[in-house]
């Protein structure tokens, strides 16, 4: 995940054969993500975005339940070594709705920011440091990571 700004994006792809593999990938990825990274998670409903977030949180030492914040928009996690914000913008109709949660302040905070359905945020979101695309493929999923840093 290392790279210098201004360089072209780096892309990696792999096949994950189920939920356990997705959680394991997230666990490993957690060690590579900068503490203040903005990560966009792309994929259809059921593609594994929240499962991947659970893996990332497990990799950072969080053992509690992880649910998608579809109705609350944001689920914050206070971890010993870093703050994590898990966003889900699936239900956002107008990106101006993000004003109500203080999106500008949240995006500029020193926290790992994981955003499901970032396309719903429109121009309210800065460019992602990392974009992850999940596509269902057979019994598992194809995962593509694009590092923009």
User: Cα separation of 60 and 58, whole Å?
Assistant: 5
More confident residue, 25 or 9: 25
To 10 degrees, the CA torsion angle through 14, 19, 24, 26? 70
Residue recorded with tokens 């975005």? 49
pLDDT digits (tens, 9 = 90+) for 14-53: 999 999 999 999 999 999 999 999 999 999 998 999 999 9
Query: The tokens of 81 are what?
Result: 């070594």
For residue 4, name the pLDDT band (cuts at 50, 70, 90).
Answer: very low
What does the domain layout of the chain look like in residue ranges? Answer: 13-101+112-137
Please give the CATH architecture assigned to the domain spanning 13-101+112-137.
3-Layer(aba) Sandwich (3.40)
pLDDT digits (tens, 9 = 90+) for 124-136: 999 999 999 999 9
pTM confidence score: 0.90
């Amino acid at each position: 995940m290392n790279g210098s700004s201004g360089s072209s994006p780096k892309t990696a792809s792999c096949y994950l054969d189920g939920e356990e593999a997705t959680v394991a990938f997230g666990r490993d990825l957690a060690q590579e993500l900068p503490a203040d990274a903005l990560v966009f998670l792309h994929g259809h409903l059921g593609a594994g975005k929240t499962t991947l977030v659970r893996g990332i949180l497990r990799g950072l030492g969080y053992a509690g339940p992880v649910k998608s914040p579809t109705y609350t928009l944001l689920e914050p996690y206070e971890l010993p070594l870093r703050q994590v914000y898990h966003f889900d913008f699936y239900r956002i109709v107008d990106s101006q709705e993000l004003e109500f949660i203080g999106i500008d302040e949240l995006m500029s905070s020193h926290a790992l920011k994981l955003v499901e359905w970032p396309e719903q945020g429109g121009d309210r979101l800065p460019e992602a440091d990392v974009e992850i695309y999940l596509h269902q493929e057979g019994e598992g999923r194809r995962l593509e990571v694009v590092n923009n840093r």
